[in-house]
Every structure is written in structure tokens, then in C-alpha cells.
Amino acid sequence: MKIPAQLLEDLRRVPGFNEDEFTEAHSTAADTSVRLHPGRVGGGLTLAAPVPWCGNGYYLGERPVFTLDPAYHGGAYYVQEASSMFLEHIWKNAVTDNGALRVLDLCAAPGGKSTHLASLLQGDSLLISNEVIRNRATILEENMVRWGYTNNWVTCNDPRDFSKLTGYFDVIVIDAPCSGSGLFRKDTHALDTWSEENVTLCALRQKRIIDDIWPALKQDGILIYATCSFSTQEDEGLLDWLAATYEVESLAPQVPAEWGITPIYSPEKNMGGYRFFPGKARGEGFFIAAVQKKAEADELKPIKFKPAISKIKDLVLPLLTNSRAFQFIASAADAYNAIAPAHEGDYLLLQKILYFRKAGLPLGAPAHKDWLPAHALALSLDAAADIPAIELNKEQALRFLKREDINIEEMAKGWRVIKFNNLGLGWVKCLGNRTNNYLPKHWRIRMELPDNDAG
């Protein structure tokens, strides 16, 4: 692989950069890694070695066809590049208050950092996963539904829309759109289209994004900034610009030397961050840093919630776990969602400003005397354990995921959650002599099933 000469020239200025090691690593293949869902079992993957900086992260010995693994569709794990999982180390060291946090993942599609954040958050925290590009927001929504957390809401907004939420967020994560050089081993398109001009354009866009959301971060709030670019303009240069423009303090936790991560300090303002160089750390190119906002900021408070919707309670409460309390909101014409009571005021405030793809847990809609359950409910961590379910084998589960009719013996009438290894995949309605497959069309597997899986 021919690394662009201008990029190598730029990197020679970075302390800790080893050109021979770096170019050598670019002639080898990238690892495949996954992060297991901490609340689920049943993944069934063969794990080769742990990712040292992430409790649930593992390298795989080989790359399976994830599309043909029903456990993937049931949210047992997320396929994620190992360097990106270092977010966990930053989070655990920089975000010491883990009470009821409001967290924004601004550039969230397809959902790697957001699924990770959802698993790291505790108590009454709320995670807003945002993606500005509409079709990417659809993929984000799908991945977040699969991950199953009610306290995760998905939005599709431009960063500038968040400026109205003055001092609202405790933590903002910006995994910025960038020139992508860190992914050269996985994405030859990034290599073919790399140019210095694009690096400069990306750095300008990154500054604009930070300017747009800065008002939304509260005083002492934390900004986590990441790129998958090696270019200093987008990494150290961005940190220098940030410290020159805003009142911030650098947060740079220690890292064990054996992880092979390269700690950096920006040349002008001495802001700490971390670089991942393939060949040194076991992962792809990645940059991440955390800063704390020091300037005073007003704080917008959530609006007080008004009367709850009680008419659907009797229908939906049996579908939800009884270990938690829920509040219900009307999300669309006669469709309802559940949210945590602690987030009622947040919903009222945010719905005036943000375009929701998913607020809380979609429950479905009343249909005559029946309840038409939302797909998300089948994958939710908050679904009641005793919802009638049908456990399928792998071949049947793949057929269900292809949206085909499946032959199941149990034909008592009513709704059933389809499960594989006890992981919810979706709904069928049993009609007595046949079943209707309620998997949403755009969720279906388009790939042909191999003969042994197709039976």
C-alpha cells in the first residue's frame, strides 16, 4: 500500500511515530473485533483475545459472515474496530460523575460509539444519538433498536440545531467526519481519495461542528473528540485551536505502555490526546482526546411534564418489565413510546428542537381490541420476560430474518416474539393455521442463504 508522501511528512513531526513500523503494518490485514452486549448472552462467537482497553471487546481469529448470524441481528454483539473501543478508558477516567447524565453523541451513525455509550451509562442517564445524514440516521436507528436501551433516543439534526440547548449536556462526543486515513487498511476508497485539500476542508468542518454545539455543553461538561484521521490538522491542530478559542482544560488519563497507544501533547497548547498507530497498538488509526469546559454557561432546564397518557397503560404494561417504571408518550398518530419517568421533561423540551427517529422505546399502536407491537419491543432490554415467544433454530431464524414464512408447530393464536438463543429478533402473529411475519421490510436480510443454512 502506498501511503501518501504528504501524510508521511506530516506524521514525521509527531513524537512516537515510527515510519518503518507504520508502513510495514499497512502491508498486513486489519483485525476483526467485536464488543459483546453486557446485558445479553447467546453470541456464540469464537473469541480469540480480549481488547485490553475495553471490558467487553474481543478480537476474532477470523471474520465470519455476520449477516448470516442471527445472534448479530439479536444484538448479542456489535462489530467494531478495536481502537474505537478506547472510548471506554477515556469515559471511565474523564466522566467521574456517573449519576443522571445527559449525553450527546453528535455524529453517531452507524452506532459504534453510541452502542458503547449506552452500555456505559448508568442510572437515569439519557443518551441522544444524532446523525445529520438521513439515510445514515436510519442505519443508526436500526443499530440502536437492536442494542435495546430505552434511555437512548435517536435524532436526525444538523449540529447547529443543538446550539439552542444552552448548557444542557454533561458530555458531548464528537466522532468527527474526517479525511479517513486511519482506515486505509480497511477502506481503499479512503486511500484513493485522500488529499491535503480534503484534510484542510475536514479540519474547517470539524471546527464549525464544535462551534455549533459548544453552547450546548454545560460548565464543567466534557467534550470527547475523536477522528479516524492521522493528519495533525484534524488532531493536535484541532486541540490547539480548541484551547485557543474556548476556555478548556485537558483531561488525559494514564495508559499502560503495553497497550501500544501513543499519548500526544498538542504543540502550542499542550493539550493531551491519544493516537493509535497500526503496528504499535492492535487496531486501526484513531485519535481521541477529552477536554473539560471551564467557561460559565447558562443551563436550560427540562420543561415540567404535563398529564400522562393513561388510556393505553393496561394494554402495554404487561409487555414491559415490572422492575422499572415507565411514562408513556404519543410518538405519532396513535403510536406510543415508553420513556423513563426521569426523562419526561427532557422529552417536552427536546421535541421542540430535535427531529426524533426514536424517543425511548417504541411500543406500537392500539388496533381494535388488540395491540400492534412495535418491532423495537421485541429487541428491548425492557420487554417483559414472559411475553409469549418461539425459540427458533439457526436455519429457521435466518428464514424469519429473510422475512419468509416459517413453519412452526405452535399455532395458538396471538403475538409471539421470535427468539434465537433467547435473543429477540422480531414478531410473528399466529393465526391458527399460519403465521404472519412482522419483521420490518427494510430489516430483512437480502443475502442468499447458503445451502446448509437454507436447509
Q: Is 209 in the site for ligand SAM (CB under 6 A)?
A: yes
Q: Which of 330, 389, 333 is nearest to 362 (CA)?
A: 330
Q: How far apart are CA 425 and CA 439, in angstroms?
A: 8
Nearer to ligand SAM among residue 132 and residue 261 (C-beta): 132
Residue keyed to cell 415540567: 304
Q: Is 90 in the site for ligand SAM (CB under 6 A)?
A: no
Interface with ligand SAM (CB under 6 A), residue from 41, 49, 65, 133: 133
Q: Is 288 in the site for ligand SAM (CB under 6 A)?
A: no
Nearer to ligand SAM among residue 143 and residue 437 (C-beta): 143
Could you tell me which stretch among 101-109, 162-170, 309-317, 361-369 binds ligand SAM (CB under 6 A)? Answer: 101-109
Q: Is 57 in the site for ligand SAM (CB under 6 A)?
A: no
CB of 78 to ligand SAM, least distance (A): 9
| 107 in catalytic set | no
Q: Where are the beta strands (DSSP E) in 134-239?
A: 152-155, 169-175, 217-227
* Residue 35 one-letter amino acid: R
Site string for ligand SAM, 291-330 (x = CB under 6 A): ----------------------------------------
Q: Is 382 in the site for ligand SAM (CB under 6 A)?
A: no
State the DSSP string of 367-414: ETTEEEE-HHHHH-TTB-TTS-EEE--HHHHHHHHTT-----S---SE
Alpha helices in 214-343 (DSSP H): 236-245, 313-316
Q: Is 111 in the site for ligand SAM (CB under 6 A)?
A: yes
Could you tell me which stretch among 24-32, 125-133, 265-273, 312-320 binds ligand SAM (CB under 6 A)? Answer: 125-133
Q: How far apart are CA 130 and CA 109, in angstroms?
A: 8
Q: Is 113 in the site for ligand SAM (CB under 6 A)?
A: yes
Nearer to ligand SAM among residue 110 and residue 167 (C-beta): 110
**Catalytic pick from 107, 156, 178, 228?**
228
Could you tell me which stretch among 52-60, 110-118, 164-172, 447-455 binds ligand SAM (CB under 6 A)? Answer: 110-118
Nearer to ligand SAM among residue 285 and residue 426 (C-beta): 285
Between vectors from CA 115 to CA 261 and to CA 275, what angle results, nearest 5°?
Answer: 15
Q: How far apart are CA 119 and CA 78, in angstroms?
A: 12
Interface with ligand SAM (CB under 6 A), residue from 70, 74, 159, 285: 159
Nearer to ligand SAM among residue 85 and residue 398 (C-beta): 85
Q: Is 35 in the site for ligand SAM (CB under 6 A)?
A: no
Q: Is 187 in the site for ligand SAM (CB under 6 A)?
A: no
**Longest alpha-carbon distance in the chain:** 73
Decide if 410 contacts 390 (C-beta within 8 A): yes
Of all residues in the shown chain, the one whose CB is closest to ligand SAM is 112
Q: Is 201 in the site for ligand SAM (CB under 6 A)?
A: no
CB of 237 to ligand SAM, least distance (A): 18
Q: How far apart are CA 93 and CA 88, in angstroms?
A: 9
The three grid cell numbers given for residue 425, joined into one nine-digit string: 429478533
CB of 255 to ligand SAM, least distance (A): 20
Q: How far apart are CA 325 and CA 177, in angstroms?
A: 38
Q: Is 55 in the site for ligand SAM (CB under 6 A)?
A: no
Q: Is 132 in the site for ligand SAM (CB under 6 A)?
A: yes
Decide if 339 contacts 320 (C-beta within 8 A): no
Interface with ligand SAM (CB under 6 A), residue from 44, 50, 177, 215: 177
CB of 309 to ligand SAM, least distance (A): 33
Looking at residue 178, what DSSP letter applies? -
Ramachandran angles phi, psi of 115, nearest 5°: -65, -35
Q: Is 109 in the site for ligand SAM (CB under 6 A)?
A: yes
Decide if 361 contacts 376 (C-beta within 8 A): yes
Q: Which of 179, 182, 171 is nearest to 200 (CA)?
A: 179
Q: How far apart are CA 344 and CA 338, in angstroms?
A: 10
Q: Where are the beta strands (DSSP E) in 37-106?
A: 47-50, 57-60, 77-79, 102-105
Q: Is 186 in the site for ligand SAM (CB under 6 A)?
A: no
Strands 217-227 and 169-175: what pairing? Answer: parallel
Nearer to ligand SAM among residue 59 and residue 265 (C-beta): 59
Active-site residues, by number, are 228
> Where do contacts with ligand SAM occur on this chain (CB under 6 A)?
84, 107-113, 131-133, 136, 159, 175, 177, 205, 209
